[in-house]
Chains A and B, each alone.
Chain A
Amino acid sequence: MNDRPEAPATELDSRYAALAAGFPGVVFADSLGDTVCRVPREVLVEFTSAAVEAGFAMFVDLCAVDYLQRDPRFEVVVNLLSLDPVRRLRMLIGVPGDDPTVPSISGVLPGANFYEREAFDLFGIIFSGHPDLTRILLPDEWVGHPLRKDSAIGAVPVQFKEANTAS
């Protein structure tokens, strides 16, 4: 899954380089022309704060991906934006399937609030420290997390004319 080797970032923009210097555990890479970085979840909040300090102050997007057979199983993807100069920063945070917990970044960037609720709702990823981690798109009494790959898509049976219903 997603086995295309990410080219190691050859030369980092000064914005990224300043950020990379303070966090040796964060690996920067190049994915189809975008700068991405793999952030261990232990340093996520500190790294996000540092990124905001470094100019990536605009929250753009947060979503999750279920890779199912890969280890770690889940990946939380956060998109940040720096406006001057215009740069994107994509953070990939691996989340193991048996302990799907990630620290919430909604304290640093309040825009992450709804997006983390969505990722919790659809993937069951727990964002610890989130002020109101409840379902957002699905009804409160829903069971399961439908965007997980082991969640079946479901179907409605349709009765056709003169169909043999015995089987």
Chain B
Amino acid sequence: MSNPPDVVTGEIEAPDGRAQSAPPSQPGAAEATVRRTMHDLWITGTEAPTDTGRFTDEGSQEMLLVEDERVLAEQMGTLVVDDYEGRAGESSDETQIINMGPQHPATHGVLRLQIELDGETIRRVKPIIGYLHTGMEKTAEMLTFMQGPTNVTRMDYLSPLHNELAFCLAVERLLGVEIPPRAQAIRVMMTELNRVASHLLWSASTGLDLGALSMMLYGWRDRELVLAFFEKTTGLRMNHNYIRPGGVAADLPDGWEEDVAAINEGVLRGLAEYEALLLDNPIFRQRTIGIGTLTAEECLAFGVTGPMLRAAGIGYDVRKAFPYSGIEQYEFDVPVLHNGDVYDRFLIRFEEIRQSLRIVEQAARTMPPGDYRTEDRKVTPPPRARIDQSMEALIHHFKIFTEGFRVPAGEVYQAVESARGELGVYMVSSGGAKPWRVHVRGPSFAHIQVLPAMLTDSLIADTVAALASADTVLGDVDR
């Protein structure tokens, strides 16, 4: 590894053992060293204050003014606060409280579970969230409707296209614009591919949590097929900002039919391998059957949706109940099972991959010709070539990208079926170019909430299996 040129080095050891003299010190090197010792977060290219003797915290990101020593001790880990305190009488000397997270690898994010144990049996669970909260709903109020998908796509980062779709459908319902058939088919195809990618990642990481390391490798391998296609189409592997109000950002790339066919074939072949690998494996069956069960009544009361709900015997799917983007014209089944345990959630998700690929295959076969975004020039920017010819096109382009388009006042709740469940966007517009309020109903938030019902009175060793089967994405929980 070579040293950066502005670091002053002394005698350095050459690989063959001979000592070499230090390279001549360059002008400004000492100053640079001083700069490096300062903790400030300097923007690249800026220089240290001329008065190097003292520095201010101006420009540094002061996260928290810690005046309470207790808070500091808790953050440093020297003090463990029992959130159950004040409930004396319920706890006894027989039980102990352990913390799982927020940095536990099996939580796949920053989730903290406070678990009260009686021997190896879980008596109480308290999920503690918010470690990833970045105020994205507040941010959404500062961005125009056109910029909004950039923000929401970062919430549930494993199914970003579903977030964008829910946001854009809400905007379009307020606007009342018609979306061309090709844009709708592209949206359906891309979101179903996203569901495949998300389920593949889930089976990979959940396999890892259950000790099936090979599943981890195969799942990521096949997800890569989908992500490579996403990169080709949208330019990015995640956080695409591809679905925009009025359509999608770009048409499908040349040769997309072959790519989609290759994904279909590759994932289906892999899926047969996973089922052979996992579903008959006695260790896997013992760790999943009858574990983390939820009844249908619990699912309803706690707002559990998606594969978790369908594994518990209720066949509610937003795609069937409230069809969007013309998804009702494709044939697909909604798998339902009745045990509500981790094993059934595996079966449901494997079957959903098959059904999603069915939709993708139909959408690719019947992809309508036409425009990939609406012709309404108040919503979509004009094509680049038109800007050179038409003054109106230039004005529209300028206005859309500077002040955005105005959306009629109103409130709307629009849901889509994401890989995890019902993903809803509640949007209030006041008639301006920015939303008055955007609330995202993430499925993971409800699934975190139901963890105590899943885990109470089970064994501590089953925590990881039950938690993984809920498929929570912490970006979706904390927003």
Stretch at the interface among A16-24, A39-47, A110-118: A110-118
Q: Number of contacting residues on A, CB 8 A?
A: 46
Q: Which residue of B lies closest to A118 (CB)?
A: B445
Given that A31-B412, A141-B68, A156-B61 are contacting pairs, would A111 and B321 also be in contact in the complex, using a CB cutoff of 8 Å? no
B332 interfacial by beta-carbon distance below 8 Å: no
Are the C-beta atoms of B174 and A110 separated by less than 8 Å? Answer: no
Residue in A59, A137, A157 whose beta carbon sits within 8 Å of that of B303 in the complex: A59
Interface residues of B in 154-178 (CB under 8 A from A): 173-174
Are the C-beta atoms of B424 and A60 separated by less than 8 Å? Answer: yes
Q: Cβ of A86: which chain B residues have Cβ within 8 Å of it?
A: 316, 321-322
A84 CB, nearest partner CB in chain B, Å: 10
In Å, the complex CA distance between A147 and B435 comes to 13
B284-315 interface mask toward A, CB cutoff 8 Å, 1 = contact, 0 = none? 00000000000000001111010000000010
Residue in B135, B413, B448, B450 whose beta carbon sits within 8 Å of that of A88 in the complex: B413
Are the C-beta atoms of B448 and A114 separated by less than 8 Å? Answer: yes
Q: How large is the interface on B (under 10, 10 to 19, 20 to 34, 35 or more residues)?
A: 35 or more
Given that A32-B173, A61-B441, A161-B47 are contacting pairs, would A138 and B130 also be in contact in the complex, using a CB cutoff of 8 Å? yes
B411 interfacial by beta-carbon distance below 8 Å: yes
Residue in B130, B409, B450 whose beta carbon sits within 8 Å of that of A137 in the complex: B130
Residue in A61, A137, A157 whose beta carbon sits within 8 Å of that of B58 in the complex: A157
In Å, the complex CA distance between A156 and B59 comes to 7
Are the C-beta atoms of B316 and A113 separated by less than 8 Å? Answer: no
Q: Cβ of B478: which chain A residues have Cβ within 8 Å of it?
A: 137
Are the C-beta atoms of A61 and B302 separated by less than 8 Å? Answer: no
Q: Cβ of A1: which chain B residues have Cβ within 8 Å of it?
A: 409, 430, 436
Are the C-beta atoms of B64 and A111 separated by less than 8 Å? Answer: no
Q: Cβ of A160: which chain B residues have Cβ within 8 Å of it?
A: 43, 46
Q: Cβ of A141: which chain B residues have Cβ within 8 Å of it?
A: 68, 71
Are the C-beta atoms of B410 and A2 separated by less than 8 Å? Answer: yes
Residue in A79, A146, A157 whose beta carbon sits within 8 Å of that of B138 in the complex: A146
Q: Which residue of A lies closest to B478 (CB)?
A: A137
Q: Cβ of B174: which chain A residues have Cβ within 8 Å of it?
A: 32
Are the C-beta atoms of B59 and A159 separated by less than 8 Å? Answer: yes
Q: Cβ of A138: which chain B residues have Cβ within 8 Å of it?
A: 130, 133
A126 interfacial by beta-carbon distance below 8 Å: no
Interface residues of B in 214-269 (CB under 8 A from A): none
Count the A-B residue pairs with Cβ separation under 8 angstroms: how many?
124
Q: Which residue of B lies closest to A34 (CB)?
A: B413
Q: Which residue of A lies closest to B173 (CB)?
A: A32
In Å, the complex CA distance between A83 and B309 comes to 12
Are the C-beta atoms of A137 and B129 separated by less than 8 Å? Answer: yes
A26 interfacial by beta-carbon distance below 8 Å: no
B428-456 interface mask toward A, CB cutoff 8 Å, 1 = contact, 0 = none? 11110000110101000110111000000
In Å, the complex CA distance between A64 and B420 comes to 23
B171 CB, nearest partner CB in chain A, Å: 12
Given that A111-B446, A138-B130 are contacting pairs, would A60 and B422 also be in contact in the complex, using a CB cutoff of 8 Å? yes
Are the C-beta atoms of B303 and A61 separated by less than 8 Å? Answer: yes
A63 interfacial by beta-carbon distance below 8 Å: yes
Given that A77-B426, A159-B46 are contacting pairs, would A61 and B413 also be in contact in the complex, using a CB cutoff of 8 Å? yes
Given that A137-B130, A153-B138 are contacting pairs, would A113 and B46 also be in contact in the complex, using a CB cutoff of 8 Å? no
Q: Cβ of A147: which chain B residues have Cβ within 8 Å of it?
A: 137-138
Q: Which residue of B lies closest to A119 (CB)?
A: B439
Q: Cβ of B301: which chain A residues have Cβ within 8 Å of it?
A: 57, 59, 109-111
Are the C-beta atoms of B424 and A32 separated by less than 8 Å? Answer: no
B367 interfacial by beta-carbon distance below 8 Å: no
Interface residues of B in 459-479 (CB under 8 A from A): 478-479
In Å, the complex CA distance between A113 and B133 comes to 18
B234 CB, nearest partner CB in chain A, Å: 29
In Å, the complex CA distance between A9 and B298 comes to 33
Q: Cβ of B322: which chain A residues have Cβ within 8 Å of it?
A: 86, 88
Interface residues of B in 384-432 (CB under 8 A from A): 408-413, 422, 424, 426, 428-431
In Å, the complex CA distance between A31 and B173 comes to 11
B15 interfacial by beta-carbon distance below 8 Å: no
Are the C-beta atoms of B137 and A110 separated by less than 8 Å? Answer: no
B10 interfacial by beta-carbon distance below 8 Å: no
A158 interfacial by beta-carbon distance below 8 Å: yes
Given that A79-B441, A110-B302, A161-B47 are contacting pairs, would A90 and B413 also be in contact in the complex, using a CB cutoff of 8 Å? yes
- Known pairs A60-B422, A86-B321 / 20 extra A-B pairs, C-beta < 8 Å: A1-B409, A31-B410, A31-B411, A32-B412, A57-B300, A58-B300, A59-B300, A61-B439, A77-B439, A79-B426, A81-B316, A109-B301, A137-B478, A137-B479, A141-B71, A146-B135, A153-B138, A157-B58, A159-B46, A160-B43
Q: Hey, which bits of chain A sit against chain B, CB under 8 A?
A: 1-4, 31-32, 34, 57-61, 63, 65-67, 77, 79, 81, 83, 86, 88, 90, 109-111, 113-115, 118, 122, 135-139, 141, 146-147, 153, 156-161
5 of the cross-chain contacts (CB-CB < 8 Å) are A2-B411, A61-B439, A111-B301, A114-B445, A153-B138
The 9 A-B residue pairs with the shortest CB-CB distance, nearest first, are A111-B303, A63-B439, A61-B441, A111-B302, A159-B59, A137-B130, A137-B133, A86-B321, A59-B303
